[in-house]
Every structure is written in structure tokens, then in C-alpha cells.
Amino acid sequence: MIERHPRLRVAAAWSALILAMMVPVALAAFSPWLAYRGPAYIIGGFAGIVGLALLLAQPLLAAGLLPGARPTVERRWHRWLGWAILTAIAIHVGGLWITSPPDTVDALLFVAPTTFSIYGVTAMWAGIVTGVLVAARRRMGLRYGTWRLVHNAVALVVVIGTVVHAVQIQGAMEPVSKWALCAAVLAAALITVLGLRVVAPLVRRARG
């Protein structure tokens, strides 16, 4: 049925993506952990959850794997989501800073006793490097192929660091939906980075 109706296929794909991104965020909003946290911590925490959810769409847009959108639109959304993810990172770190400056400083200096903070800060710095690569692309004078290779490698560090950071934290996110989202984010990133030259052309060819 869906195969015979392109619009239904597009709607199904986008609905699945939106649900995969929104359900973990919605479930986290009902977590009993929130009753014991202050506003800054909650806002910072949810910024992290939203940033994780955005990481699911980001590589799919980069590889042109989402049906129904023109490549120029996908590239535009990829850039916008990139800056949105960096904003989420800033709010996440800012909320934790307001809640506990000493713990945040220890994390940023890689001297915190918790391993999840190491992965989180690694992902943060990799995200900043990704932003710099995008903003300074023309000034760097790199060929597009070289720039994309570096960009994808650093972006993969962001994804892996964020996923490991998320799964190690016992917090507001509901466990099953968190693991499902993290697995989807990691799969999307690996498919994009490893199959950008193979998978994306096949999808574009299938679109006709």
C-alpha cells in the first residue's frame, strides 16, 4: 500500500522520525526525578535530551536519506540543526554550571570522578570543533572532500561521546526509550559516515 503511494511513504518516514525524537523527550517530562531538581538543572537537562534527539535527524539530512525533501532543503536544515545542537549544548552546560559550578569545572577539566562526564565533555568540544569547521570552511582553504572527511570524523566523535554519556546517566530519561533513541542515533550516524558514497546515491536514484 505504502509502496504504491509516494506521499504515504514520505509521511510514514517523517512520522517515524518525529516519534522517535519526541517520545523520549515526552517521557522524560513525566520523570519523578524532576521533583527533586531545580529549574536550572531541569532546563539544562532537557537541553541535553533535545540535543540528543536532534542528533537523530542531523546525519540523515546530511546523507539525503529522508524522503520528500530537495537536497538544498536538506542541506539547509542540516546547517540549522547543527547550530541548534550547539545551542542545546550551551544551555545544557550552562544549566549544570548554575546548579553546581565546581562539578562543572571538574568536568570541563576532565578531572571529574564520573566517566559519563568525560564522554559528555569530549562530545561538547567535538561539537565546538564541528561548528568552527563549518564557520571557517572557506578560510581554511581545504578541498571539499578533505573538509567533509574531517567534518564527518569529528561529528562521529560527537555522536559516540553523546550516546555513551547518555546511556551512563541515571536521570530523567526513561531507560527503554533512551536506549532506543541512542541506538537509532548511532545507527544513523554510522550509516551516514560509512555509507555516504553508497547509500545516499541509491536513495536518490530510487526517488527517481
Q: Tens of pLDDT along 52-67?
A: 999 999 998 888 878 7
User: Do 52 and 185 meet the contact criterion of CB atoms below 8 Å apart?
Assistant: yes
Angle, nearest 10°, between helix axes 115-135 and 71-99?
140
Least confident window among 24-28, 62-66, 98-102, 175-179: 62-66
Per the listing, cell 527533586 goes with 36
pLDDT band at 196 (very low <50, low <70, confident <90, very high): low
C-alpha cell at 76: 539547509
What is the Cα gyration radius of the chain?
18
Euclidean distance between CA atoms 192 and 184, whole angstroms: 12
- Asked whether residue 1 carries a pLDDT value surpassing 50, the answer given is no
pLDDT tops 60 at residue 42 = yes
What per-residue confidence (pLDDT) applies to 198? 47
At 2, the pLDDT band (50, 70, 90 cuts) reads very low
Report the amino acid identity of residue 45. G
Nearest to 119 by CA among 178, 65, 162: 162
**Is 81 within 8 Å of 61 (Cβ atoms)?**
yes
pLDDT exceeds 80 at position 4: no
d(CA 202, CA 32): 45
Please name which of 30, 127, 33 lies closest in space to residue 88, comparing C-alpha atoms: 127
Under DSSP, the state recorded for 143 is: -
Distance between CA atoms of 176 and 197, rounded to whole angstroms?
A: 33
Residue 23: is its pLDDT beyond 70? yes
The whole-angstrom separation of Cα 168 and Cα 182 is 11
Instruction: Compute the half-sphere exposure of residue 113: CA atoms within 13 Å on the CB side of its CA.
Output: 1
pLDDT tens for residues 107-143?
999 998 889 999 999 999 999 999 999 888 888 887 8
pLDDT of res. 147: 84
- Domain positions in the chain are 6-207
pLDDT band, residue 71 (cuts 50/70/90)? confident
What predicted TM-score, i.e. pTM, was given to this entire model?
0.86
206 pLDDT band, cuts 50/70/90, is low
What pLDDT, on a 0 to 100 scale, did the predictor assign at position 205? 54
